[in-house]
Structure 1
Amino acid sequence: MATVNERLQSASIGHAVDLQHLSNAEVRKIIALLNSVDADLRKLLIDAIEKAGTNTYTVQRMNTVLASVMALNKAIYASIGEAMIEVVSDLAAYEISYQQALFTAVIPRQVLVTVSLNTVNLAQVRQIAMSRPFQGRLLKEWMSDLEKDRAARIRNGIRIGMTEGQTTDQIVRRVMGLKEEGYADGLLNRSRKDIEAVVRTAISHTAQGARDAHYRANDDLIAEVSWLSTLDNRTSEECRVRDRLRYTNDTHEPIGHKVPWLSGPGRIHFCCRSTSTPIIKGWEELRLSKGLPESTRASMDGQVPRSTSYGDWLAAQNAERQDQILGPTRGKLLRSGGVKPGDFYNDKGKFLTLEELRDRDAAAFTKAGL
């Protein structure tokens, strides 16, 4: 039977995977919101370029004719900022309730009768999400900076196009890109990548803030905290070196090593996928009655669980959970095709399409009956 700490570690890994799915969904929604003004932006750009005219071009005139473009840009980022506030607020509430439910389900009832499980103030966690910087800036500051960066890309793209004598169509293409290329060749595609990084980091920042608050509120139960990194070919060096290292619960001082906590998992760099798991004190350390059932004492041994990689964890899940994480085809490749979790990514950490997977390893599809 798994101990309490083993069950918490497994749940923490699975929850980190679910948060990645949430992050993916929120990125798609925010990018769709950003793209929703593309048609209007194109019209305004054409109008502004034609009004500017190559023969009468000056910086002052450019700023004047681009006023409507910049107003639209500012408005869409204001909408994105409002959407992000809703995202992190909802996530803060969810993460608190999840941790409370997890502890209630995993820690034996006989233990919680003696050592109470404390709740966390939701307003406090929401305040952490909004008023504590991640990667050096507050969420509202990131929104403002991203809006300004996109505005600068628009201005620079037009300015360069005009000085090179390009047509209106060529300048718009430079700024926005080609539809058949998925607009990836346009200057504004950088803005999509930037907003994706901020969305993912804001989500991981908020989730870890809620976990930290929950752990601190239950310091009587928790001995220390263990860093959990998703070990695959996308794992950063900062997270790889910290995987399974232990820290104090209150001040995050290193235990048995010298590697600093810094900003913590989920915050140490952009798009960090690391998380944390608590190590619950043993029943003797909690000074629980020796009259506890033997099974309860065994589950509350206080030991640090054996390290489990993401690949090991995924392989131990049932078929339904594997398919939920990977999709049914990749799930079957994992179970029957001899494909390992890391094989689903290329050397740059990008999730391979099924066509790319088939080109790389057609034999695995045959072996899996696909």
Structure 2
Amino acid sequence: MATVNEKLQSSSIGHAVDLQHLSNAEVRKVMALLNRADEDLRGRLLAAVERMGPNRFTVTYMNTVLESVRELNKQVYDQAGEVLKASVDELAPYEIGYQQALFAATLPAQVLIAVPLARIDLAQVQKIASSRPFQGKLLGEWMDDLEVGRAARIRDAIRTGMVNGQTTDQIVRDIMGIKSEGYADGLLNRSRNDIDAMVRTAISHTAQGARDAFYQANSDLIAGVGWHSTLDGHTSGPCRIRDGKQYTNDTHQPVGHDIPWLAGPGRIHWRCRSTSTPIIKAWEELGLSKEDMPPGTRASMDGQVPDSTTYGEWIKGQSAKRQDEVLGPARGKLMREGGLSLDKFYNDQGKTLTLDQLRERDAASFAKAGL
């Protein structure tokens, strides 16, 4: 029978996976705003570059002509910032509610009677994303910087193109990229990568901040927190070395090692996918007696830190339905019936391979799974 701490660790891994899916959805939402503005941006760029012409080009004139481009760029990033702020404002109280429900469902009734769960000030937690910096800046500051950076890239590309004698179409194509290529070949693709990283980091920063608040409010129950980062075979070095390490709940001091917590899981670097897992005190530490709890319940409340479980180990132990929810039906079947291990779903940069790429790599597994 799994202990309370083992159950909490398994649930924390599953929840981290769900938060990654949430991050994917939020990135798609913000990218959709950029995509909808692309045609308008292309038209304004074409008009601006045409107005300048090779014989009228000066930096001062260019800045005047590009005013409409800058206005559109600011408008799009303002909209993206509003969408993301609304999402993280909703996420913080959701995360508190999730932790509250998880603890209520996992901890024995005798424990919850003796040490009731603390109430959290949701209004205060809701301010985590907007009032606490991540990667050195607040959410609003990051949005402003990304907007200014993209405007500067557009300006510099036009300067370079005009000086090098490029045509209007060449300049705009270099900036925007080609639609059929998903604009991946354009200069502005870097802006897309930047906002992708910022959105994902904002989500993990907010969720971890809410967890920290919940854990610290319930310090009577929680002995410490564990760092969990082994989500797949492509975990970053700083997270890999911290995986499974234990820290104090209040000040996050290392326990049994000397590797610092720094900003904490989910915030230690861009796109960090690490999470924390609570370590519940043993029943004796909670002041409970043998008479308070039956033997099986006492055994589940041993206070031991479970061995760190990798994402690959976790997903194998889930139901077929849950595997399909996380991986998709085809990949779930490939793992169960085709014999593919989780690491086979990624390339050497940690990017998820498409089903066509997987089929090209290992047609035999598809045949074995009947796909």
TM bin (shorter chain): over 0.9
Q: For 1:186 and 1:33, how far apart are their aligned partners in 2?
A: 17
Shift of 1:180: 1.9
Shift of 1:231: 4.1
1:289 aligns with 2:320: no
Residue 233 of structure 1 contacts residue 347 of structure 1 at CA under 8 Å; is this kept in 2?
A: no
Q: Could you tell me which amino acid in structure 2 is paired with residue 98 of structure 1?
A: Y
Q: For 1:211 and 1:315, how far apart are their aligned partners in 2?
A: 26
Residue 89 of structure 2 contacts residue 127 of structure 2 at CA under 8 Å; is this kept in 1?
A: no
Paired position in structure 1 for 2:122 = 122
Paired position in structure 2 for 1:318 = 319
Paired position in structure 1 for 2:176 = 176
Paired position in structure 1 for 2:166 = 166
Shift of 1:128: 2.1
Residue 244 of structure 2 contacts residue 307 of structure 2 at CA under 8 Å; is this kept in 1?
A: no
Matched-pair identity in %? 68
Kindly report the root-mean-square deviation, in angstroms, between the aligned alpha carbons of the 2 structures: 0.8
Q: For 2:340 and 2:181, how far apart are their aligned partners in 1?
A: 31
Shift of 1:166: 1.2
Q: Could you tell me which amino acid in structure 1 is paired with residue 169 of structure 2?
A: D
1:192 aligns with 2:196: no
1:347 aligns with 2:348: yes
Residue 92 of structure 2 contacts residue 128 of structure 2 at CA under 8 Å; is this kept in 1?
A: no
Shift of 1:299: 1.2
Paired position in structure 2 for 1:138 = 138
More divergent stretch after superposition (272-281 vs 223-232)? 223-232
Residue 73 of structure 1 contacts residue 151 of structure 1 at CA under 8 Å; is this kept in 2?
A: yes
Matches within 5 A, 1:1-370: 1-291=1-291, 292-370=293-371
Shift of 1:60: 0.5
Unmatched tracts of structure 1, length 5 or more: none
Q: For 1:344 and 1:267, how far apart are their aligned partners in 2?
A: 25
Q: Cα deviations across residues 154-179 of structure 1 (Å, max 9, x unaligned)?
A: 10111111111111111110110111
Shift of 1:84: 1.1
Runs of 4+ more than 3 Å apart? none
3-state secondary structure, aligned to 1:194: helix
Q: Could you tell me which amino acid in structure 2 is paired with residue 313 of structure 1?
A: W
Q: For 2:34 and 2:286, how far apart are their aligned partners in 1?
A: 52
Q: For 1:119 and 1:107, how far apart are their aligned partners in 2?
A: 16
Q: Could you tell me which amino acid in structure 2 is paired with residue 26 of structure 1?
A: E
Q: Could you tell me which amino acid in structure 1 is paired with residue 159 of structure 2?
A: R
Q: Cα deviations across residues 87-144 of structure 1 (Å, max 9, x unaligned)?
A: 1101001101000000000001111111010021112212222111111111001000
Q: Could you tell me which amino acid in structure 2 is paired with residue 212 of structure 1?
A: D
Shift of 1:367: 1.4
3-state secondary structure, aligned to 2:126: helix
3-state secondary structure, aligned to 2:225: strand
Under a length normalisation based on structure 1, what TM-score does the superposition of the two structures give?
0.99
Task: State how many pairs are aligned.
Answer: 370
Unmatched tracts of structure 2, length 5 or more: none
Q: For 1:139 and 1:83, how far apart are their aligned partners in 2?
A: 12
Under a length normalisation based on structure 2, what TM-score does the superposition of the two structures give?
0.98
Q: Could you tell me which amino acid in structure 1 is paired with residue 191 of structure 2?
A: S
Q: For 2:231 and 2:50, how far apart are their aligned partners in 1?
A: 52
Residue 231 of structure 1 contacts residue 240 of structure 1 at CA under 8 Å; is this kept in 2?
A: no
Residue 135 of structure 2 contacts residue 269 of structure 2 at CA under 8 Å; is this kept in 1?
A: yes
